[in-house]
Amino acid sequence: MFHDNPQAQDILLSFSNAIASIRDKQDLQDVVQNILNKLFTFNDMVIALCSDDAKTHKTYLVHFEKAREIPEDFGKVLALGKCPVDDGIVNTTLASSRPVSLQIADVMKWKTIPEYIRFWNANGIRQMVGAPLRVRGKAIGGLFFYSEQENGFQKNEIDLIHNISLQLSVAMANIQANETIERQLREIDQYKQQLEKEKDYLQEEIRTVYNNQEIIGSGESIQRVFHLVAQVSPTDTSVLILGETGTGKELIARAIHEHSSRKGKLMVKVNCATLPSNLIESELFGHERGSFTGAIDRRIGKFELAAGGTLFLDEVGEIPLELQGKLLRALQEREIERIGGKTTIRINTRIIAATNRPLWQEVQAGRFRSDLYYRLNVFPISLPSLHQRVEDIPALVDHFIRKYARKTGKKIVGATEKVLHELQSYSWPGNIRELEHLIERTVLLTHDTHIRHIDLPPGEMPFSGLSADGQRIKTIDEVEREHILRVLKKSKGKVSGTGGAAQLLGIPSTTLNSKMKRLEIKREYWEM
């Protein structure tokens, strides 16, 4: 007996002291290996913990006296917690106030034999003793000892197992508390990392945003854009912004975001044209640590970063075809998976996409998925190029002069009529971005109160859009489009039939419909 054996009493005391200092699973493993097997003879030991719903259990800690060959599928079952609690052994152990002793040979005669009993039987185990582990009165799992002897555990050893289970229950309470704290600290660290990323984005936004965030222009073409922005902003509808490079697609995306219910959250931008194709997936969806070479840490993607806000996919036409299916799933199912991840992440992110490519032609060429195109093209907004809104150039020039004069400390207040005429005659292949850069350079070179000379880029033919008296000459399409719109307004939107626009124009309704399609005349335009 232990009270008659001073050495055993010393070992038991050292075990009690060691149990009191356990803080994590590694501490527990050390106690089992270095102290517990000195108290009495056993071959194997297992600590099993119940799942939160108390219907299944899994192995938390296992100690083998000698090497055991564990079948791969059985090892997965133990680790994943797919073993039912109600198996005749675990549920009996959890319900008992004292350790439960069982002969393996008897259990092998049961109608339903737990899978782990088959494993122990095949490895020569003949007896097992199970004791419940309770934390604050609730059974959280069991402590199980195994012996290759049919009567390997005597009464005094079973009594000792009972005392050990009581002490281990306290240790498990400490371990679970520490694991909870560590998990919460990891979550806090993840939140901190996300906040740091959001901070970086906000600082970048501050650096890049225009001092005057209003979109400059009062011409008819840009007013149509304003009307569409006002219609779609309050909704969560996906928007596809179409336009040449430099027409202000990001500015329109920001305007939609700022006038939506999501304006208090981030608008995160991803330029799909500047990312290598092998990095776009990680950039959008994130990755888990070790999911590929170089993935040394978990990284959240832009979909998660934009949670509750807006994700702006600039140059969406550059997304590789093999990744378009995953993007489509994110848009349709509102869920994503990180690269290397096994869990599905629900997202609440609005998508605004932009491209300078003719996406429908990309679809017909097989370079862009048609289902993704239709999903993005729910509400298209086409931005006019700068040579289509020549009437806005004076206002844009004035805005950029004030912006860069303020930055450089110069007293430039405007440009001469001659300079404005030259600017309105130019073709502007780079659109508003080209105009801004030209004005910035000219401000740096000007030492007067007005810009009196401007060096337009060589090699570009002037855009013959002005008459000799400075009035802009409209194209035939523009004249025809405006005339059709006026007639549609007069007919109150009626296209065919008596009093319809086709009759008033003296052309068949089929011809009018074809012209409206070619000139991109939509109902919202004549209802403005």
**CATH code of the domain in which 14 resides:** 3.30.450.40
pLDDT of residue 179: 80
Cα of 201 vs its chain's centroid, Å: 15
Measuring CA to CA, which residue among 342, 238, 328, 233 is closest to residue 284? 328
pLDDT of residue 209: 47
Domain identity same for 332 and 434: no
In angstroms, the CA 516 to CA 261 distance is: 34
Do the domain assignments include residue 469?
Answer: no
DSSP code of 3? G
In angstroms, the CA 191 to CA 233 distance is: 29
Strands 286-287 and 267-271, sheet pairing:
unpaired
Do the domain assignments include residue 202?
Answer: no
Domain identity same for 286 and 138: no
How many other C-beta atoms can be found within 10 angstroms of the C-beta atom of residue 234? 11
pLDDT of residue 20: 72
In angstroms, the CA 485 to CA 528 distance is: 10
In angstroms, the CA 316 to CA 6 distance is: 78
Do the domain assignments include residue 64?
Answer: yes
Domain identity same for 13 and 155: yes
Please name the amino acid found at residue 127.
Q
Domain identity same for 396 and 419: yes
Domain identity same for 431 and 334: no
Do the domain assignments include residue 466?
Answer: no
Q: Can you give the C-alpha Rg of the chain in angstroms? A: 37
Given 336, 359, 382, which residue is the final one in a domain? 382
Domain identity same for 432 and 501: no
* Mean pLDDT, each 10-residue run in order, the chain (528 residues): 55 72 80 77 88 84 80 61 84 92 93 88 92 88 92 87 86 82 77 66 52 68 91 94 92 92 89 82 83 73 89 92 90 88 87 92 90 92 92 93 91 92 90 92 92 80 49 67 83 85 84 78 60
Query: What is the tally of structural domains in the chain?
Result: 4
Domain identity same for 370 and 226: yes
Domain identity same for 404 and 444: yes
Do the domain assignments include residue 189?
Answer: no
- DSSP lists the bridge partners of residue 127 as 103, 147
Contact of 287 with 299, CB cutoff 8 Å:
yes
Domain identity same for 175 and 297: no
Domain identity same for 167 and 232: no
Residue 413 domain boundaries: 386-451
pLDDT of residue 4: 52
The pTM assigned to this predicted structure is 0.53
Given 367, 382, 397, which residue is the final one in a domain? 382
- Counting beta carbons within 10 angstroms of the beta carbon of residue 326, is it exposed (0 to 12), middle (13 to 18) or buried (19 or more)? middle
Alpha helices (H) in 247-365, listed in sequence order = 249-258, 277-285, 302-305, 321-333, 359-364
Given 355, 382, 409, which residue is the final one in a domain? 382
Domain identity same for 414 and 490: no
In angstroms, the CA 366 to CA 67 distance is: 58
DSSP code of 63? E
Residue 404: its H or E element: helix 393-408
Do the domain assignments include residue 201?
Answer: no
Do the domain assignments include residue 313?
Answer: yes
pLDDT of residue 468: 46
- Cα–Cα separations (whole angstroms), residue 399 to 67, 245, 255: 79, 20, 18
Q: Per DSSP, which regions of 383-426 are E strands?
A: 414-415
Do the domain assignments include residue 499?
Answer: yes
Provide the b/e sequence for 273-290 (b: ≥16 CB within 10 Å).
Answer: eebeeeebbbbbbbbbee
Domain identity same for 393 and 356: no
